[in-house]
Amino acid sequence: MTDRLDDIAAAMVARGKGILAADESSGTIKKRFDAIGVESTEDSRRDYRELLFRTGDAMRNHISGVILYDETIRQKAADGTPLVDIIAASGAVPGIKVDMGAKPLAGHPGELVTEGLDGLRERLAEYHKLGARFAKWRAVIDIAGGIPTRGCIEANAHGLARYAGLCQEAGIVPIVEPEVLMDGGHDIDRCFEVTEAVLNAVYDQLFTQRVRLEGSVLKPNMVISGKKCASRAGVEEVAEKTVACLKRTVPAAVAGIAFLSGGQSDEEATAHLSAMNAIGGLPWPLTFSYGRALQAAPQKAWSGKAENTTAAQAAFAHRARMNSLATTGEWQAALEKQAA
């Protein structure tokens, strides 16, 4: 089984490809649909996701895997084909979000811990039968006055490691996602300090829980200034500091690193990824696992109208191609302007 896990993980970070995060909870996708004036129903969510998964060029050439939500992994397309089968037919690996969300951590005001370990073994067995070959669990670490605390970092690292061990037992590759949020007013150096501490704690716990690193993928934040920081670091500094932080903390055995976009604009997330890959000489492939940064443009183009499907697919294909170029350090801002 270890060889199989390693192969799946390697496919998820294949050169020129990245992961589409389409695992928005019902609440999150309702917010996204509200913004484009679309009612969020089981059918509208299905129609929107189906149009993404049927964007042939993007899915075949630029997308290595798709993270699904519990509802989506069970849904069939309008013609009766399971959505999982459409994804697999494109050559991408179907995956599933398995955590139950971040809840307040007792005794730690303002901090969260991700729940969902209870019953996870049984849920993973079911998801494997439904076609999932990788899973995702997100831990959330906030930066503010006095936080994060050691207690919060360790509780989340332990949860991530327990989840990862259960995934591998089930023949499923774990995406380990410890997200240090960029919502505050902190500068890039504070983000570096916290991200370093978080990743050290996570890999300490993964080792303790006997997780096979070759059969796992890391989904971290970039080392970046908080959104409310008065002077935000530029693209080159973000790239250099993110790479430096990862080199200090992430073992070379890890199959690959697929960044979250974490509230960055579409182009910002692409530019940062490309600048990191341009540095080169890294022990692991660096790719993307973007949700909003891949989907904002197609959602707006679609706006719930069937006649806009082609335009929405073109928007998705463009963002997928731009991020594919970023995985090899070849993205340029001029390519965005040409498409526009």
Would you name the residues annotated as active-site residues? Answer: 177, 219
Give the containing element (helix H, strand E) for 321. Answer: helix 309-326
Residue 22 · residue 66 · CB < 8 Å: yes
Buried b (16+ CB within 10 A) or exposed e, 228-245: ebeebbeeeebbebbbeb
**216 phi-psi bin (left φ>0, alpha ψ -120 to 50, beta other):** beta
State the chain's maximal CA–CA distance in angstroms. Answer: 53
* DSSP 8-state symbol, 223: -
Of the candidates 73, 126, 120, the one whose C-alpha atom is nearest the C-alpha of residue 100 is 120
Distance CA 160, CA 30 (A): 27
Residue 40: phi and psi, rounded to 5, are -90, 105
Distance separating alpha carbons of residues 318 and 309, to the nearest angstrom: 14
> Rounded to the nearest 5°, which phi and psi values hold at 211?
-80, 135
Question: Phi, psi at residue 137, to the nearest 5°?
Answer: -140, 125
How far apart are the C-alpha atoms of 5 and 11, rounded to whole Å? 10
- Pick from 187, 260, 270: which is nearest to 19 by CA? 260
Q: Are 258 and 218 in contact (CB under 8 A)?
A: yes
Instruction: Please report which helix (H) or strand (E) contains residue 236, including its range.
Output: helix 235-249
List helix spans (H) across 69-227. Answer: 70-73, 83-89, 120-130, 150-169, 188-208
